[in-house]
Amino acid sequence: MMAVRKVVHIITRLDHGGSARNTMLTVLGHDRTQFEPVMVTGQAESWNAQGGLTAIMENLRFLDKEAIRYHLVPSLVRHLSPKGDLAALWNLVVLLRQEQPDIVHTHTSKAGVLGRLAAWITAVPKIVHTPHGHVFYGHFGSIRSWIFLQIERALAWITDELIALTPVERTEHLERGIGVSDRFAVIPSGIDIDRFKRARIGGKVMPEWFDCPSDATVIGSVGWLTDIKGHRFLVDAVARLKQEHPHLHLVILGSGDQHDALLRQASQAGITQALHLVGHREDVDCALAGMNCFVLPSLNEGMGRALIEAMAAGLPVIASRTGGIPALIEDEKNGLLVPPGDSLALAVALRRILSDPAWASTLGQQAMLSIGTDYGVPAMIRAVELIYRGAAVRHA
């Protein structure tokens, strides 16, 4: 019988974002007879999207309840700071020397850099990294993106296993010289499939907190209110259609620094009453029940956890042709794909959905059928633990 192996998970922010949810589900779901999970997370700074520090403390209390140990490293923050990053690296080195883990599993870009370096310095037997997308385009300018690319290429040499959320994400890394194919797995981010497949079983039911008229046609989206999520293009697309579809309303779940900018944009476009920014919500399934269509207008996206949830709920979906999204959507079969950052193309796609409800319903049903058990939480955890076991054999 294999001895219990200690796994230290490292992430910059354990908030309500998709990567944090993925990490929390993995940690909470580990088979404790084989793996002892320990969580390491940074601090939220002044940033408050996806719940910020409040969300982090909620998740830490959840870990307490499940008797999972954790460490809060205040210097591990998202923004770049040579002095702060060196402090975070030192803190992680000290922490890993104390914990003596068998495996370090890092999540997201910044934690992946500092966490893997600390694991290498302390000679941790097994290093695993899940990028949860990448920052090679859409996030920064060309010079900074190039620097990140070189860092990721170098770190791949000290990483035993890389985990992508979709085949496209894996391919984009390999094509850029990051990692090798036989140590680069694809494991979709797990969701509670049954919960979301039940979301619309009673038909469309709008929550009161949408604050929409009872006859509203609701376009919905879920995600950080940050520039990379592309919500400004969705607001523009809805504004283009509002005159021909007067009952059209846009509901966006999420928080972030683009909140006020989106409200100003809606005001300038004359659709203030049609835009509803409802903030972060845990009851996403209830929100999906109140929508007619779901849109993910991201400029870059690892997989799109919210997109999978909407598809499982049977909503017709429209999403950007970027990152891992095309691995989920076959255009005109189980959804529609549009170029990222193109509000006109987005408006055209929305018009097609709105003008043919029967076809839209068929798209939604095909979307639901395409989300099988391999997108479930148990499948994700089994696949991750299989990676751990395989690495243990190689290091034996």
**Do the beta carbons of residue 251 and residue 281 sit within 8 Å?**
no
Backbone angles phi, psi at 160, to 5 degrees: -75, -40
Same domain, 361 and 391: no
358 SS3 class:
helix
Residue tagged 């520039």 (tokens) = 227
Helix (H) or strand (E) holding 293: strand 293-296
Which pLDDT belongs to residue 83?
Answer: 87
246 SS3 class:
coil
161 SS3 class:
strand
What is the residue-averaged pLDDT of the chain? 91
At 394, is the pLDDT very low, low, confident or very high (cuts 50, 70, 90)? very low
**Do the beta carbons of residue 241 and residue 351 sit within 8 Å?**
yes
Same domain, 39 and 9: yes
- CA-to-CA distance for 77 and 38, rounded, in angstroms? 19
- Please calculate the CA angle 119-111-166 and round it to the nearest 5 degrees: 105
Question: b/e for 342-365, b at 16 or more Cβ within 10 A?
Answer: bbebbbebbebbbeeeeebeebbe
Give me 9's structure tokens.
């998970």
Which pLDDT belongs to residue 224?
Answer: 87
Same domain, 72 and 165: yes
Backbone angles phi, psi at 175, to 5 degrees: -65, -25
Residue 352 to residues 7, 271, 274, 358, 361: CA-CA distances in angstroms?
Answer: 48, 21, 20, 11, 12
Residue 219 burial (CB count, 10 A) = 25
Residue 392 to residues 132, 309, 386: CA-CA distances in angstroms?
Answer: 23, 33, 10
Same domain, 198 and 171: no
Cα-Cα-Cα-Cα dihedral sign, residues 221, 224, 225, 226: negative
Beta bridge partners of 21: none
**Do the beta carbons of residue 217 and residue 274 sit within 8 Å?**
no
Same domain, 128 and 203: no
Same domain, 117 and 261: no
Same domain, 146 and 167: yes
**Do the beta carbons of residue 303 and residue 189 sit within 8 Å?**
yes
Q: Which residues, including other chains, have CB under 8 Å from residue 163's CB and lie 6 or more apart?
A: 128, 129, 130, 184, 185, 186, 187, 384, 387
Same domain, 52 and 176: yes
Total count of domains within the chain: 2
80 SS3 class:
coil
Q: pLDDT tens-digit profile of 279-329?
A: 988 899 999 999 999 999 999 887 788 999 999 999 999 999 998 899 899
- Greater model confidence, 81 or 160: 160
Backbone angles phi, psi at 281, to 5 degrees: -135, 140
Same domain, 215 and 312: yes
The separation between the first and the last C-alpha atoms of the chain, rounded to the nearest angstrom, is 14
Backbone angles phi, psi at 177, to 5 degrees: 80, 25
Same domain, 87 and 157: yes
- Give the domain extent around 63: 5-190+376-395
Beta bridge partners of 337: 319
Same domain, 99 and 184: yes
Q: pLDDT tens-digit profile of 106-141?
A: 998 889 999 999 999 999 999 999 998 766 654 455
* pTM across the whole model: 0.84
Which pLDDT belongs to residue 58?
Answer: 87
Q: pLDDT tens-digit profile of 133-166?
A: 766 654 455 687 788 889 999 999 999 999 998 8
Same domain, 300 and 368: yes
- CA-to-CA distance for 297 and 310, rounded, in angstroms? 14
Backbone angles phi, psi at 382, to 5 degrees: -60, -40
Percent of the chain whose pLDDT exceeds 90: 72
Q: What is the DSSP string of 234-283?
A: HHHHHHHHTTT-TTEEEEEEB-STTHHHHHHHHHHHT-GGGEEEEE--S-
Q: Which of 17-26, 79-88, 168-177, 216-225 has the highest mean pLDDT?
A: 216-225
Residues found in the chain: 396
Q: Which of 138-147, 162-171, 343-352 has the highest mean pLDDT?
A: 343-352
Backbone angles phi, psi at 225, to 5 degrees: -85, 65
Which pLDDT belongs to residue 50?
Answer: 59
- pLDDT over 90 (residue 78): no
Residue tagged 């989300």 (tokens) = 371
What is the CATH number for 179? 3.40.50.2000
320 SS3 class:
strand
